[in-house]
Amino acid sequence: MTLFFLTVVFLALPACQATSIGASRRGGAFSRRISKHAREENPKYVMKTSQGDITLELYADKMPYTVSNFIGLANEGFYNGLRFHRVIPNFMLQFGDPHTKDNLGPEGTGGPRGGTTFVNIATKKVETRLPDGSINDEFLPDVKLSNEKYTIAMANTGRPNSGGSQFFINTKHNAYLDYFNKQTSSNHPVFGKVVAGMDVVDTIEKLGSATGALSTPVTVYSVLTSGASTVPAAESQAKVDTNTNSILPAQPPHVSTGRTVI
């Protein structure tokens, strides 16, 4: 069983605990700089949750491949009815595991079905997910988006090219999670940010714990294009693979194991 996680790395820094979160996929040939393809405005999607709405701006102008994967899943209804399965205060909120709804495997281990497809909004080409449902890491040398507070980034298993459907919302600036920050081995590419509903993010964060367990379940009823009023009718062709995006329980802060799965 492959788990998608946010790894916590405890470094010998002055009264400081560093936390890292895994790796996502792709860049290379499929993810060239697309300034000529950039839209006047990046797409926005609204997560309608049991605690209120969260609006996300997706960085289609800078991270088209990763954003296209998200849009494909959202438009198919993949995310509808899922729950936040791991929330750690002063760290992040993790979401996107289909097992929080279908109970087909341990929470934190689910993702898209292997071999499913989505359209790259920059190139208009059809992209195919890997056999395990993951996508390639989009690590671009000229795009360096840091894991700042309220940004969203891909979760993964800690291995290259292992991100799928799970992502997280940073609730503090977690710079050591950046793929271009060599402080730790974590590689979590940012592909968007919360532009409305920060208060909802803050509320959900307060429901979390050091282990990631929530005191009250938080369900995401739908993830829709901003302005949409109905849930997409299409059933997701992407669900569900039990070999993706999971996050293991966090270790106590004093444990120095080099790389601890959270």
State the catalytic residues.
86, 91, 94, 156, 168, 177, 188
Contacts 24+ apart (CB under 8 A), 124-127: 127/30, 127/65, 127/68, 127/69
CA distance 110 to 107: 7
Please name every residue paired with 200 in a beta bridge, in sequence order, or none if there are none: none
Angle (CA) 168 173 178, round 5°:
70
Cβ-contact 93, 204 below 8 angstroms = yes
Sequence-distant (≥ 6) Cβ neighbours of residue 36 within 8 angstroms:
none
Question: Token match 């080099």: residue?
Answer: 258
Q: List the structure tokens of 228.
A: 């949409």
Residue 243 sits at φ, ψ, to 5 deg, of -115, 35
